[in-house]
Copies of this chain bind each other. A is one copy, B any other.
Amino acid sequence: MKNLLIAQSGGPTAAINATLAGVLTGVRASGKIDKVYGARNGIEGVIKERLIDLNELVRDSKAMDTLTYTPSSALGTCRYKMKDWRKDEEPYKKIVETFYKYEIKFFIYIGGNDSMDTVDKLSEYCRFNQHDFIIMGAPKTIDNDLNLTDHSPGYGSAAKYIATTISELACDIGAYDIPAVTIVEIMGRNAGWLTASAALARINQGAGADLIYLCEKEFDNASFIRDVKEKLAQKPGILVAVSEGIKDRNGNYVSDQMSSGAVDNFGHKYIAGAARALEQLVRKEIGCKVRSIELNLMQRAAAHIASETDIMESLMLGQKALSCALDGESGRMAAIRRLSDAPYRVEFISVPVNEVANHEKTVPLNWITADGHDVTEELIAYMKPLIQGETNVKYENGIPLQLKL
């Protein structure tokens, strides 16, 4: 039997189910797979033998279409870091046991950095112990920090949500005639790709973020206050976009400036974000109206405003992962190589997963403007194609249709 097992892992995105749908589309097209299973909650579901049958889904075009546009991980997710098999072989044994029991030949793991580490370790374990399984990775992460792929599925949709939302917030803020600062916190501890997408709000020469601070660049409170004051001298309503992970010159998170010391009525320490810390700073140093906004889980879950380019590429990467697996590739990840920005052209390739795992691709410092509070045209040119196109999401009773597995 040549059965296939698929699982999803890491933080959900608006496009990870498109990649799952892509694998399933590939299964239908190839005719080379006997049975398809999904593991619940990533590799944990393989270890615990929590498998579900996906064969019916493969034949149901309507359900597959709904799946493509359903946010989050339909198979469930986990955050599970595999140890070296030489130190803890137990989970590896259980995985292999599940593979043999369900006659799995191919395993495709859709996820980010940690998931690619799992693909790497598991394929190495199988190779070393002469288990003839094929383990392929398919990328996803809104953070866009995966190595060896031009960009990551999920990023374009999150970027489109952020660009759209920032443009809408700028309209809201611009309606008032009094000095006010709005600070929007965007996900990204170490990589500022998502925060950079706030710059796309201005792409039609409309209102957008006035100041953009990525976590790659050292953040200085005094410079920030100076920047804000300068902007406030030009117009009343200022919009600032910051990465959650901005750090001061000593490498300490700006968000820690606020959480240190302060306790609530229960005696618990506050857990605050970078934007809230800066909100307090502006209140103290400038004293004008100030508000902080966290885009929170919405930036990875807002499938209704997903990028069609992103969804289509995510589908293609699922298909690519499967076709590589069928070709006998193992320990590799499907990836995107960009051929040109305008016209936007890409090709789908596969890359060695051990060069993806445990690397982090951050925004090049020369793509941040010299003044430290905006992004360059090169970065705009890189991001712009990724948010193009609106999806064909179906609505029922006024809200988007979603598939539950």
Contacts and interface: CB of A to CB of B under 8 A. Distances in A.
20 contacts: A8-B175, A12-B172, A41-B175, A44-B177, A71-B172, A74-B175, A76-B176, A164-B304, A168-B303, A171-B402, A173-B297, A200-B397, A200-B399, A204-B401, A207-B402, A293-B298, A294-B294, A387-B398, A387-B399, A390-B395
A262 interface: yes
A100 interface: no
The residue in A8, A12, A41, A258 that gathers the most chain B C-beta atoms within 10 A of its C-beta is A12
A96 interface: no
A3 interface: no
Contacts of A31: none
The residue in A160, A206, A284 that gathers the most chain B C-beta atoms within 10 A of its C-beta is A206
A261 interface: yes
Interface in A201-220: 201, 203-204, 206-207
Interface string A58-99: 000000000000111110111000000000000000000000
Give 9 closest A-B pairs by Cβ, nearest first: A387-B398, A72-B171, A168-B301, A172-B301, A73-B175, A77-B175, A203-B397, A72-B172, A41-B177
A398 B177 contact: no
Contacts of A260: 265
Contacts of A399: 160, 163-164, 167, 200-201, 203-204, 387
Contacts of A168: 71-72, 298, 301-304, 400
Contacts of A302: 165, 168
A185 to B, nearest CB: 11
A294 B172 CA distance: 16
A194 to B, nearest CB: 15
Interface string A140-179: 0000000000000000000010011101110111111100
A398 B203 CA distance: 9
A257 interface: yes
A171 B71 contact: yes
Contacts of A258: 264-265
A65 B380 CA distance: 28
Interface string A265-281: 11010100000000011
A7 to B, nearest CB: 12
Nearest to A305: B304
A257 B74 CA distance: 38
Interface residues of A, number: 76
A250 interface: no
Interface string A360-397: 00000000000000000000000010011110000111
A6 to B, nearest CB: 15
Given A307-B398, A389-B398, 11 more contacts: A72-B175, A165-B298, A168-B302, A168-B304, A171-B301, A204-B397, A258-B265, A264-B270, A265-B280, A266-B280, A388-B398
Nearest to A390: B395
A270 B262 contact: yes
A404 interface: yes
Contacts of A44: 177
A209 to B, nearest CB: 13
A12 B172 CA distance: 6
Contact of A171 (B70, B200, B270): B70
